[in-house]
Structure 1
Amino acid sequence: MKEYLKIDFKEEIPKYVQIAVHLKKLIETKVIEDGEKLPTIREYTEFLRVNKVTIVNAYKKLQNDGFAYQKVGSGTYAKRKENVSIFMKEYSKTFKKLMSENMEDAIDFAGETTGEVLFPIEDFKDIINRVLDRDGVEALISQNALGYEKLRGTINKAFWNNTLQDEDILIVSGAQQGIDIASKAMLNINDNVIVEKPTYGGALSVFRWRRANIFEVDMESDGVDLDKFEEILKKNKIRCFYTMSYFQNPTGISYSLEKKKKLIELAEKYDFYIIEDDYLSELIYDQSVEYTPFKWLDREERVIYIKSFSKIFLPGIRIGYMVMPTIFKESMQNSKFNTDIATSSLMQRALEMYIVENKWKENIALLNKEYQKRYKLMTGILDEKLSEYVTYNKPGGGLTFYLVLKESFVTSRELFLRLRKKGVYITPGVLFFRDMKDGDKTFRIGFSQTNEEKILKGLETIREELDLCHI
């Protein structure tokens, strides 16, 4: 047995985790080659002087993390993942530049937030001034870790018809913080989590940071594949399932009522929790899409509901909320307090007044009207001019489309780099998968940062680039 396979074990970390981490490093640094057979379970057990179950669990973890695969009757083999971090850095650098510089000619199909031109800034400025006149310095210095009390009450009344207790609502700094708080309250190292395939990259990052084992389930036209979902439940103790119930990021898929009910039943049967990220459900253009979140169906407190106002309000404000089940309430409150103590008091008070005075509903109506026009324009062009190269499902709402390349003449990462040279920006699908290879034939485009003129020009550029790639 080769010396580099040896490990000096530390007492505080499970041995199988240390073995998996060690082998990952060897695979990533090419000490163990891609496709090379790993030691047999018996050989490695004797070499490291551990029990057989430890090696079995280490190899399982390697497979779950995408660093190994098994051949029946032959053994376990190394699988080197492409270095996603290099591309991620390049992608991140691109959009930092896009946001920091005045690039008026850029066509940003990658943005996910409301364009500032659509926000009624004069109304909001008026409300800020009235809040300051009403509350004075209290609006600036007051802190409550759980959130401004009147805002929590207003959210309960306006969005939940007073069916919740105000103390069940926790104000957070956007959905990302809500996911982080939920994971800290619920997950320990090596707990098992199910996510949609593909899914929001920010959620994947949180679960990786918590060192959870991540299981992916393919998306169908109305939600996850329930048969594959239950197969995982039968074989593994699952702690939670992360889902975006409306206009899922990136696929744009919304869950059918039947699947929501079935998933609630499975949560009760197999004792797991559902983290529901309610993403852009205000922006519905197709009336066949009905609004019934998982939380409305929740009778046994199995759903942790998270809602951000950032996507449809002002991104810079960073306000959202979560509805906490009783069992996790104390740990989630503690997690919030340890994270940032309190969210901006002034912005919470302004948002509360904005909702109470129905400015919120007026703004949502404005957004729906404008975005529906862009949505229809984009679907028309996709159907007419890009159907030769891509397929997609019409989401019926939201701000994005998820496109699947029909042929393998170009990857979405290559397409991103080619389009970037021409001032057009897309989101490659690799960012939404645990194993980046799975997303190389998909990419997401959105219309929140593009007017009609830019949509026409940008989609024409994509068409031209695909033509060139196809030659």
Structure 2
Amino acid sequence: MKKYVSILLEIEHKIRKGQYRSGHRLPSIRDAAELYGCSKSTVLRAYAELERKHAIYSIPQSGYYVVENSGDLHHSHVEESVDFTSASPDLNVFPYLDFQHCLNQAIDTYKYDLFTYGDSQGLETLRHTLVSHLADNQVFAEMKRIIVTSGVQQALELLAKMPFPNGKEKVLVEQPSYDIYLRFLEEANIPVCTIARTAAGIDLQELENQFKNASIKFFYTMSRYHNPLGSSYSTENRKAIAALAAKYDVYVVEDDYMADLGVDHSFDPIYAYDQTEHVIYLKSFSKIIFPGLRLGVAVLPEVLLKTFNAYKRYVDTSILSQAALDIYIKNGMYERHKHTICNLYSERIHMLNQAAERYNQTGIIEVSVVTSGVYVQFKLPRTVNLERLVQRLSERRVQVVSGKGFYLKGYRELEKFLRISISRAQPGQIDEGVKTIIEEVRKGNWY
């Protein structure tokens, strides 16, 4: 028997026996070669065959994963850890076959484009498609102002580094805020100012003072489904932020990375209230499809286009991925998958809220009011030792994220909290997970 066939059969056996379950990450090519005592090309051949049989799928720069298997459904999740940490989409609803179809169609449709370096602004047909796609979220823009980026993170880094026409130099960030961006700002020595944000919002008077006096280049904010708080700005707050930006010539970088996870169709982004082109709108496609796609979009005021493109300089996003996404949106698959994900996550948030109401009757934990997205803040008493709580929960197989990492270093944490994510928490685990958290907080004994 050929070596690649024996590898293939062993992996199929492990999938059938439940050793490799839906979403399980297979060993890397290098690790598998060492494990099976063969060459990397032999492992690649086995994985390619498994992929062709739709047993596994690959995510660029991430690895190979097991496709959802109906045989997994009878396996109990009781003994598995409750994952309240992951920000990635649920692999069990990954649109593998749909997106594979789009990739194949993209190769046939755009075969000549794949032999060029492309346009640093992004594939023209995708950008044209995005004009109407973004308009569904009340983001109206000409194609020339839409730039495809290697995820939202790339756009955020470029904006922090480049000069702005207002001649100001500081970036205003909420506290708490997106941890990866905060770490970048620190490491790149970008001048920053801070403003406190809670589940209730921000102090608009304080925001105006900073816009007026602190030489703010731009204000970085997540208008809905905030990471890590999970909450969204009220309509009044969004209108006020747009008005203040215009009044004091401060730009707003609106990171609407979870735009597609909303079920509230009355929500309009800050961008929709911008009358003076002071709002930069960012959107990610990783939360609705998969992180390895690494595609985001930036909608820029015309005055920033030349500088942004100069800093971006070269093509850094896969033309094939862009072409596949273009087809995925055009043929309606994106919209259908969006509804699937929205409904799934809304159900899980509802289960979380019900569990919190059931076990938190004394109010020892303050739960943010969230009905969409993936994050919920569990605000804790000040006496709680966060590190000890996370450790104790881990020992009881409940994985959570401390809120401490969502602040700039040296910033005195405004609140002690856990960021709870439901994106990969299985429905049958949520109730028990919430119950365990509340039990451990009540138990005390932090030292």
Q: Does structure 1 retain, via aligned residues, the 8 Å contact 2:129–2:326?
A: yes
Alignment of 1:43-442 (within 5 A): 105-136=80-111, 138-139=113-114, 141-160=116-135, 163-186=140-163, 191-221=169-199, 223-285=201-263, 287=264, 290-337=266-313, 341-388=315-362, 389-408=364-383, 410-434=384-408, 435=410, 437-438=412-413, 441-442=416-417
Q: SS of the residue aligned with 2:225?
A: coil
- Alpha-carbon spacing, 1:323–1:223, altered in 2? closer, same or farther (3 Å): same
* More divergent stretch after superposition (460-469 vs 176-185): 460-469
Tell me the distance in 2 between the aligned counterparts of 1:222 and 1:461. 26
- Which residue of the partner structure matches residue 34 of structure 1? none
Tell me the distance in 2 between the aligned counterparts of 1:351 and 1:180. 23
- Alpha-carbon spacing, 1:383–1:189, altered in 2? closer, same or farther (3 Å): farther
Q: Does structure 1 retain, via aligned residues, the 8 Å contact 2:217–2:251?
A: yes
Q: Does structure 2 retain, via aligned residues, the 8 Å contact 1:245–1:293?
A: yes
Alignment of 1:452-467 (within 5 A): 452-467=427-442
- Alpha-carbon spacing, 1:124–1:100, altered in 2? closer, same or farther (3 Å): closer
* More divergent stretch after superposition (246-255 vs 139-148): 139-148
Tell me the distance in 1 between the aligned counterparts of 2:385 and 2:115. 49
- Give a deviation string over 1:63-97, Cα, whole Å, max 9, x none: xxxxxxxxxxxxxxxxxxxxxxxxxxxxxxxxxxx
Structure 2, unaligned stretches of length 5 or more?
1-62, 67-76
- Give a deviation string over 1:428-451, Cα, whole Å, max 9, x none: 111111245416611101110111
- Alpha-carbon spacing, 1:426–1:220, altered in 2? closer, same or farther (3 Å): closer
Shift of 1:378: 0.5
Tell me the distance in 1 between the aligned counterparts of 2:213 and 2:233. 25
Q: Does structure 1 retain, via aligned residues, the 8 Å contact 2:160–2:190?
A: no
TM-score computed with the length of structure 2 as normaliser: 0.76
RMSD: 2.8
Q: Does structure 2 retain, via aligned residues, the 8 Å contact 1:185–1:328?
A: no
Shift of 1:361: 0.8
- Which residue of the partner structure matches residue 425 of structure 2? 450
- Give a deviation string over 1:386-431, Cα, whole Å, max 9, x none: 35421022122110101110341x2223222222333322111111
Tell me the distance in 2 between the aligned counterparts of 1:186 and 1:422. 49
Shift of 1:189: 12
- Structure 1 runs of 4+ off > 6 angstroms? 99-104, 187-190
Residue type at the aligned position of 1:143: G
Residue type at the aligned position of 1:195: V
Tell me the distance in 1 between the aligned counterparts of 2:323 and 2:248. 41
Structure 1, unaligned stretches of length 5 or more?
1-98
Tell me the distance in 1 between the aligned counterparts of 2:353 and 2:115. 45
